[in-house]
Amino acid sequence: MMARRSLTAGIVVSMLIGASSIAHAQDPAPLSSPWSVDLGFGMDNSISGNINSSAIGRINNQAVVILKNSYEDVYGTGLHFRLGGGYMLDDTTEVRATFTLQSLDADLTDMGDLGVSRLYGQYADYQSLGIDVGLREYMNATETLRAYGEATIGLAFIDETDVILVAPAANLGGNATDFYDKTTAFAFAINVGVILPIAEQFGLFGQLGFRYVTGMSEIDDIVGTGLETINDNSSRWTLPLVIGVRARF
């Protein structure tokens, strides 16, 4: 997992350094063309948050112990796509709107014990579409690179999440259990990045940030089992690392 993050960071640095010979210390596009659009992709790294919490209860009249699983345990590192646009208010300040797609594949997860059997879960993939607005402030880092910091707020529309529970020795498995309903969550993010001009109206960018998404909507399929609290704390922090292209027009 760390190797994948290091590889992505290396790609960002290599692209910016490799393109610097083309840039020749160009200045940012003038305010006569204040509009911009950018397209980026990268890695969505989960750093905190639990897809399920721990609990003790009963399923099929057998004692069950559920272990806590973080988003990192179940989903690891996923894909992060973003399409954004901005309008320069002055030489350094830009108001922005961004669409963000997060997509993470789930691994088979050790959930705990059911009776004398180990209990396993296969979660549905995590899919989220976000709409964010915010402000970005630019500064000249070097003669070639222009750095920025930004803060955004918005909404994340998260798909329904199901889980298939399997306990081989207890003869349990095969049916999907509703775990979280489709959710409209609140999101906010803080990002920093650099832009390297490669032509009068185009540039490459690399960005790193922290993004928070509030918890998902619970589904009460497990009422009466003693496990009602396992999906109470599903908010998450991520560390998106994104590279892309920006155009002014």
Whole-angstrom Cα distance, residue 200 to residue 29? 6
- Give the structural domain span for 97: 2-248
Written as six digits, the tokens of 172 are 């349990």
Helices (H), 24-93: 71-75
Q: How many CB atoms lie within 10 A of CB 188?
A: 15
Strands 62-66 and 69-70: unpaired
Confidence (pLDDT) at 148: 97
Contacts of 101 (CB under 8 A, 6+ apart): 79, 80, 81, 82, 127, 128, 129, 130
In the chain, how many domains are there? 1
CATH of the domain at 39: 2.40.160.20
Each residue's pLDDT, cut to its tens digit, for the chain (249 residues) gives 445 445 444 544 454 444 344 333 344 444 457 999 999 999 999 999 999 999 999 888 889 999 999 999 999 899 999 999 999 999 999 999 999 999 999 999 999 999 999 999 999 999 999 999 999 999 998 888 999 999 999 999 999 999 998 999 988 877 777 889 999 999 999 999 999 999 888 999 999 999 999 999 877 666 667 888 888 889 999 999 999 999 998
Does pTM top 0.75 for this prediction?
Answer: yes
Helix (H) or strand (E) holding 16: helix 2-23
